[in-house]
A and B are shown apart, each in its own frame.
Chain A
Amino acid sequence: MDKYQHISDKQLLEKFYTDRDNDWLGILLQRYTLLLLGVCMKYLKNEELAKDSVQQIFLKVITELHKYKVDYFKSWVYMVAKNHCLMQLRDKPGKINLELNEKFPAQDETSDKQQLLQDEKTYALMSVALTELNPEQQQCVTLFYLEKKSYSEICEMTGHTMMQVKSHIQNGKRNLRILIEKKLNELK
């Protein structure tokens, strides 16, 4: 159990910038070990390479944080990890050339969504909008959010693959938002 659980990433970074003690970075990085391993596995598809990459990312993060001030650690460390993996792939001939400087969502991307949520009208419109989604998206969104089924259960029930289920849920969620915004504009 992380005994520093009550301290946020931002506070840990502030503590580090105050006394430049790497121990704070150690605590912070350990929070992301598993996620970093996952990201490296996704891109490199090899456990040993992924492990080595996580270690290299740790070192890179420690060095870079001494040079720059970082505000949103999670987004930043993800960018460092992803770029590291893509560089590794780029170094290997025959691999797909991927875009390195992909834009990251702004930290407060969710603010307008939250504003949307505050509007009670939204809930009334959502039930209607849900029926306007294509059948796959409607089914997956309903099973996932309303019936609280896990991905594996939805796969079993629908016959879709895990990737398809995730894609239907994500696209369904996006389309639902677009539909609601459209309906809200029509009401104005």
Chain B
Amino acid sequence: MNENLKNILSNLSTEVDQETLIKYLQGNLTEEQKNDVEKKMLGNNFDDDALEGLQQIKNKENISTLVEQLNRDLQKKLIKKKQRREKLRFKDQPWLYFAIIIILILLVVSYFVIQRLLKNN
């Protein structure tokens, strides 16, 4: 009883993982497990809003697929961004090396030209 009373004022909500939340939404938890999820989510604005919104999804069986799809899209976008960045990095490097080599060649050539001019004088 004392422990239960303690729960009323406690706000130390440990997070509910997505898997459990999906089970909750699909009605695959016992009443006690449901109570546990609800207790953890109560009082946090983010969780409250999310739970209210998720309950409005008509086909609850579809929720996992929706989440997987969104996660896959996110991964694709991240990979694309990474590839673009690496491509840019790769593209940058040959020009840099090319410029350095040209400058070095010019320096060596001008050294020899100056030397020859000095000798001729």
Spell out A's residues near B (CB within 8 Å). Answer: 1, 22-23, 25-26, 29-31, 33-43, 45, 47, 50-51, 54-55, 58-59, 62, 74-75, 78, 82, 104-105, 109-110, 113-114, 116-117, 122-123, 126-127, 141, 144-146, 148-153, 162, 166, 169-170, 173, 176-177, 180
Contact = CB atoms under 8 A, between A and B. Distances in A.
A117 B78 contact: no
Contacts of A177: 9
A52 to B, nearest CB: 10
B9 A170 contact: no
Interface in B53-91: 53-58, 63, 66-67, 69-71, 73-75, 77-78, 81-82
Contacts of B66: 37, 47, 51
A150 B34 contact: yes
A166 B8 contact: no
Contact of A149 (B2, B35, B70): B35
A82 B81 contact: no
24 contacts: A22-B82, A23-B78, A23-B82, A30-B74, A33-B71, A34-B22, A34-B54, A37-B54, A38-B50, A38-B51, A41-B57, A42-B53, A47-B58, A78-B46, A78-B49, A104-B45, A113-B11, A123-B5, A141-B8, A146-B4, A166-B42, A170-B42, A173-B9, A176-B8
Contacts of B11: 109-110, 113-114
Interface residues of B, number: 51
A26 B75 contact: yes
What are the 10 closest A-B residue pairs judged by CB atoms, nearest first? A38-B50, A42-B53, A41-B53, A150-B34, A38-B53, A78-B46, A38-B54, A110-B11, A35-B50, A148-B35
